[in-house]
Amino acid sequence: MSDGVRLIVFGRQGAGKGTQCVRLAERYGVPHISTGDMLRAAAAEGTEFGLRAKEFMDAGQLLPDDIMLGVIEERLGRPDAAQGWLLDGFPRTPGQAEGLMSLLGDSGADLAIDLDVPEDVVVGRISARRVCSGCGAIYSLAAPPAQGWTCDKCGADVVQRADDTEESVRTRLAAYNEQTAPLLAWFGERDMLVTVDGVGDPDEIAARIGAAVDARLG
């Protein structure tokens, strides 16, 4: 498979999407464009749509689709994205997907990848997560700090975040499922969706995704 893929990646919280996005970007030599990072960078750089986005973000409001699409158009217009990209965190609705495809024009997108991890597995992963209250280092019940629940790196307390409890995680996942199911159906109806098993060793999962992408795009 040659470089130059244009991929959109979906996955529940805790599915390992971030890890796999980094590997995919390296495999195909394209930038990993995370919506959150992109918005913060656009706001910091003072681009036209970045400044408009900052007003909404500072007010704690959701960004209108036209501003989101404007920020994405700015980002995809940069030289590093000329040969392809990996989009993570957008679109979130069928309407946004239609807007994105209109923006992309003839080049479009190649595939949408759904990294599928069962909800109970994701809940187990996230509810077992522990975070350093000082430096933010990540641990888990299965891989705790070396000496009690103090951070190996900075010595601060390692705690469970309030939004990592099982109840909170299931609430977030329910919202994700409700929001994303119509979006996955949208891409599926256009024969653009590939679902990949996201359970197992990260290297094995990366190989599965790469094989699925290469098989479709050849």
- Nearest residue to 198 (alpha-carbon basis) of 140, 122, 129, 127: 122
- Nearest residue to 181 (alpha-carbon basis) of 36, 62, 10, 31: 10
DSSP class per residue in 17-43: HHHHHHHHHHHHT--EEEHHHHHHHHH
Q: How far is Cα 145 from Cα 15, in angstroms, rounded to an integer?
A: 23
* Contact assessment for residue 31 and residue 81, using Cβ atoms and an 8 Å cutoff: yes
Catalytic residue annotation: 17, 92, 129, 161, 172
Helical packing angle, 94-104 and 166-189, nearest 10°? 50
Q: Are strands 85-88 and 6-11 parallel, antiparallel or unpaired?
A: parallel
* Contact assessment for residue 80 and residue 32, using Cβ atoms and an 8 Å cutoff: no
